[in-house]
Structure 1
């Protein structure tokens, strides 16, 4: 109002953004960090996130660093790129991913994104028609749920079965789906469970999707980071059974999450996604959004072609040793149990037995007090869809991992119920 009156401002906050961010891993971890005691002189042990890049044993290959530096110095990549990705990068990624498939991907099947996060954002927005729903795994990566909620895409959860190596409950998938179901999501290798789906199980997933008339979104950001009985099998192998949209990135296999280079791939030899308008919608979304840094795109052909198997083997062996250490040490912490040994990715899910603890209400309370008393950050299971479970990352320095698990054991012994 004018003349000295009270001004009525006509803008305000977006409550949906605040609500959506509250159920992200970052949001939960930030809350836990607030419980740390500044006077604790011990280093904080980060067992709650999936970014091992700060640890020397998980450094990326110098070849990748040189490729980025060369791309910058060339001055060829200082301008805007195409909204779907520059052609050399799309061609290189198509060739890289086709090595594991029974058919050749075209560069036109590849869309470059700002990390895997934007790739899943793109496909969720594309599918978000009125009344549509999507089927998500429980436990799973919470960003899917928060992003789906923000774009008004209804979420329905199917369980992963811990007693069967965290396989998808396919009967539940069929029971949940209806005429408005657009897609189901799988994460393989698994976050948060550390599982790796077999060829046979993935084929059943594709057959179920075909039966229901839905597409499969396959999150393969941890592709090839496997060290158990099951090798990594890309879901795109089954693209002739049902249309598959794969999301991935260089973040995990090359240990460079900060480089923010991801991709969305349409594995669709039968042309179903194109006929249904999904391809045009993906292009439309990318036309109105940002694209990854052009110089990182410029480095991709060299990175994909020339990274040695020795580098990949070193990273996988380091993860395996850390997973073995984590699994063995957890056996000594009686209030948590691990249903299956991790075989891939960087995480393991463990069940919290509250009946053995005094003064601990739930998994969130456990994690808050653990941060306060031991300066150890572990993600409460409720953040990934399983209350009174915990997600533990083992992708850190072995000495820090050993120290962190030792502190968790000390915390348990301090809070154990007296017999």
Structure 2
């Protein structure tokens, strides 16, 4: 049989979509929020309240510093940063990141310890890929940031979850870490300040994490993209402080502290004074992977020295104070919302985890059903806990304009009252 154009039909097509990639993407924050947005009622003329995504840059009160904007303009106009970047990043930018991070460490980082990446997400993808080996497994927090699991599954790296304990300010359950680890475990991941929990680990707890990792012979991947966004009883302590106990790879970016997630400048940093990672080929493998992947934009790299060195403390203080006020608005407001329980007051990052009491609702099946109906009825977007590893919980973002946050909580309360069982 011939087709209309005279050619014969193919016997069979050899290509197939990767089902694991599609499933992994559907469970990322971006994938889940896309599905929730599809449930919005187009006839609702009220503004959408975005309590699901950690991007406050859309709100005027969270505008980045003029220093950062001027540095970008100067970098562009200099015409010095229009070409390709070196694999690990431009030297002045790597030096600036090393100096910036060294301020909080008991030792000095070298520019050779710093690899610049296309946002923190590329840093995650890089280290997950580098650590993938046959039979290897990695320990991830539950709840956690879903990109780690998505990249691990794409690389066929086995994932094992340890719990964070809500009744202990979301500390790592170190007993479960010890139980889960075996001779094939390569690393454990921590996120501090916490996404999605809004917690900040103490110095003492981080030291216990390092000592546990040393005993198990694994490295610690410390996601510190929310570094210094701490506004509670615990100050931010970088995990690299304990790099002499066990090797630490720090992941970070300018996205959150400078409120510029779209600028896509992140880093992967080696905190390993004893040189253990170099001895085991990890550094060379990081370089090899970055040789075949995309680079952070060179004009952003060119601006980094001025951004990091010239931003004044009053900018950081202003941002932290706004976020702290929003965290308090969120926590206090949720206390009056039926069916939602907030176990701890958020003290860092831009999020808080709250638990659903499904027993009080008439027609809510689970956290996903809750978020779909909330979007459709109230034009409020919240992330279901399923996407971060805790079913029937919710991750609420509070880093938005305070007035919008108050309106969002008001709508959330109305929704819960409407769907709750009558007294």
Matched, 1:93 2:69: no
Matched, 1:242 2:256: no
Query: Which one of the candidate residues 331, 334, 348 is aligned to 1:330?
Result: 334
Q: What is the rounded CA distance, in whole Å, between the counterparts of 2:416 and 2:27 in structure 1? A: 27
- Give the aligned partner of residue 45 of structure 1: 49
- Give the aligned partner of residue 306 of structure 1: 310
Query: Which one of the candidate residues 157, 172, 178 is aligned to 2:176?
Result: 172
Q: What is the rounded CA distance, in whole Å, between the counterparts of 1:258 and 1:25 in structure 2? A: 16
TM-superposition CA deviations, 1:156-202 (whole Å, max 9, x none): 00000000000000000000000000000000000000000000000
Matched, 1:263 2:267: yes
Q: What is the rounded CA distance, in whole Å, between the counterparts of 2:49 and 2:129 in structure 1? A: 36
Q: What is the rounded CA distance, in whole Å, between the counterparts of 2:238 and 2:7 in structure 1? A: 66
Q: Map 1:10-409; keep pairs closer than 5 Å.
A: 10-409=14-413
Q: What is the rounded CA distance, in whole Å, between the counterparts of 1:98 and 1:390 in structure 2? A: 36
- Whether the aligned pair in 1 keeps the contact of 2:57 and 2:260 (CA below 8 Å) is yes
- Whether the aligned pair in 1 keeps the contact of 2:338 and 2:417 (CA below 8 Å) is no
TM-superposition CA deviations, 1:349-396 (whole Å, max 9, x none): 000000111100000000000000000000000110000000000000
User: Between Structure 1 and Structure 2, how many residues are aligned?
Assistant: 419
Q: What is the rounded CA distance, in whole Å, between the counterparts of 2:193 and 2:203 in structure 1? A: 12
Q: What is the rounded CA distance, in whole Å, between the counterparts of 1:15 and 1:330 in structure 2? A: 39
Q: What is the rounded CA distance, in whole Å, between the counterparts of 1:235 and 1:309 in structure 2? A: 22
Specify the SS of the correspondent of 2:75.
Answer: helix
- Give the aligned partner of residue 9 of structure 2: 6
Q: What is the rounded CA distance, in whole Å, between the counterparts of 1:148 and 1:9 in structure 2? A: 29
CA shift, 1:4, in A, is 4.1
Q: What is the rounded CA distance, in whole Å, between the counterparts of 2:16 and 2:211 in structure 1? A: 47
Q: What is the rounded CA distance, in whole Å, between the counterparts of 1:9 and 1:165 in structure 2? A: 53
TM-superposition CA deviations, 1:192-220 (whole Å, max 9, x none): 00000000000000000000000000000
Aligned Cα root-mean-square deviation (Å) = 0.9
Q: What is the rounded CA distance, in whole Å, between the counterparts of 2:85 and 2:331 in structure 1? A: 45
TM-superposition CA deviations, 1:58-82 (whole Å, max 9, x none): 1100110010000000000011110
Q: What is the rounded CA distance, in whole Å, between the counterparts of 2:17 and 2:344 in structure 1? A: 44
Q: What is the rounded CA distance, in whole Å, between the counterparts of 1:73 and 1:258 in structure 2? A: 20
CA shift, 1:14, in A, is 2.3
Specify the SS of the correspondent of 1:226.
Answer: coil
Q: What is the rounded CA distance, in whole Å, between the counterparts of 1:169 and 1:272 in structure 2? A: 26
CA shift, 1:15, in A, is 2.0
Q: What is the rounded CA distance, in whole Å, between the counterparts of 1:4 and 1:164 in structure 2? A: 68
Unaligned runs of 5+ in 2: none
